[in-house]
Amino acid sequence: MKGIVFDGEELRLVEGLEVRSPQPGEVNVKIVNAGVCHSDVSVIDGTIPFPTPLVLGHEGAGVVTEVGSAVTSVAPGDHVVLSTLGQCGACPSCDAGQPTMCKSTFGARDTPFSLDGEAYYNFANISAFSENVVVKANQAIRIPEDIPLTAASLIGCGVLTGSGAVFNRAKVKPGESVAVVGVGGIGLNAIQAAAIAGANPIIAIDTNAEKSDLAIDFGATDFINATDVDTNQEIRKIRADGVNYVFECVGSKALIEASIGYLDWGGTLVILGVPPLGSTVEFMTVATYLDVTIMGCRYGTSRPQTDVTRICELYKAGKFKLDELVSRVYPMEEIHTLLEDMHEGRLARGVLDVCSI
């Protein structure tokens, strides 16, 4: 089996990777396409510390090939999107419909892979940059077969995270004002969800001028090129009082701090970006006197079965863009070119062709 592995120093494509057989509650999925999210890059550059060696990737779609003896939710041949959660289904958070708060979904370290007899960790409970993966059955969410797997591959992280921050976490209402900082895979989905929610204005902010057309196509009403301008002043030219919501989709301490200043009284900052572990931020406490709220948001506060199904329905109804998120599809051999294009800001999302169907 082919896979893209990281040993703490080098990222490489290997042959001969093996994955264990599914246990009773698990399934084996052949990955057809995998999206590359900035969190994968953050493992490579150390922003997100993770034990090595590991198989990278956590955003993918494919076909179920084998199911464990206790699995009834999917069957071999089903097309599925993968969720990174793998919630336990039995704790108070799961019971309350908050699987992102299920304690068993974070920090578990499994080594389902091996290469030349050495154990390899999976990343974010998945490792989508491998021809086959073994995941919990509730991580494999069945989707209609007429949804292209290239497009579907992005639902499992970028789409759920960006759109869920707007729909589930912030619950943006019609006419409320929104700014989205960072027009990458996460930010574009926050923008299109804000447009679906009826927000106005929707101000997209990026340091890469080429993101302007994309942002407008996804529903932004304005674009601010944050290079060499005072972003706060530019926002206030559009809405003098500042905005009701800012979604930080870069993962920068400086931008999180600046974003609090973009808010109107009573506004909400939703932090999606993941700065280096241990980062701290400073803000003027007068913000709290003006009823400002600062929210974290893990994985779009998603309920994967519900949200993946809804996104697929919206896509089929022509109301949610997925194909437009796929800037280019690369063979696994070209992962370094993909990362370079991502770094240069040329991509909405870069997608890997992992296996043919």
Ligand X SMILES: NC(=O)c1ccc[n+]([C@@H]2O[C@H](COP(=O)([O-])OP(=O)(O)OC[C@H]3O[C@@H](n4cnc5c(N)ncnc54)[C@H](O)[C@@H]3O)[C@@H](O)[C@H]2O)c1
What gap in Å lies between CA 250 and CA 190, rounded to an integer? 12
Binding mask 57-96 for ligand X (x = CB under 6 A): ----------------------------------------
What gap in Å lies between CA 2 and CA 15, rounded to an integer? 4
Total residue count of the chain as it appears in this document: 357
Pick the binder of Zn ion from 4, 74, 102, 243 (CB under 5 A): 102
What gap in Å lies between CA 248 and CA 301, rounded to an integer? 15
Check residue 37 for interaction with Zn ion (CB under 5 A).
yes
From the list ligand X, Zn ion, none, pick the one residue 91 interacts with, judged by a Cβ distance below 5 to 8 Å according to partner type.
Zn ion
Pick the stretch among 26-34, 64-72, 97-105, 304-312 that binds Zn ion (CB under 5 A).
97-105
Binding to ligand X in span 264-283, by CB under 6 A: 272-274
β 243-248/263-271 pair status: parallel
Closest contact distance (angstroms) between CB of 106 and ligand X is 10
**Residue nearest to ligand X as judged by C-beta position:** 184
Closest contact distance (angstroms) between CB of 208 and ligand X is 4
Check residue 196 for interaction with Zn ion (CB under 5 A).
no
Instruction: Name the residue nearer to Zn ion (CB basis): 4 or 37.
Output: 37
Closest contact distance (angstroms) between CB of 55 and Zn ion is 15
Closest contact distance (angstroms) between CB of 54 and Zn ion is 15
Instruction: Name the residue nearer to ligand X (CB basis): 64 or 272.
Output: 272
Check residue 37 for interaction with ligand X (CB under 6 A).
yes
Binding mask 146-185 for ligand X (x = CB under 6 A): -----------xx--x-------------------xxxxx
> What phi, psi does 41 have (nearest 5°)?
-60, -35
**In sequence order, which residues have a C-beta less than 8 Å from that of residue 345 and are 6 or more positions away?**
206, 208, 210, 211
Check residue 187 for interaction with ligand X (CB under 6 A).
yes
Binding to ligand X in span 228-247, by CB under 6 A: none
Closest contact distance (angstroms) between CB of 137 and ligand X is 22
What gap in Å lies between CA 185 and CA 48, rounded to an integer? 18
Give me the residues that bind ligand X (CB under 6 A), please: 37-39, 42, 157-158, 161, 181-187, 205-208, 211, 226, 249-252, 255, 272-274, 297-299, 342, 345
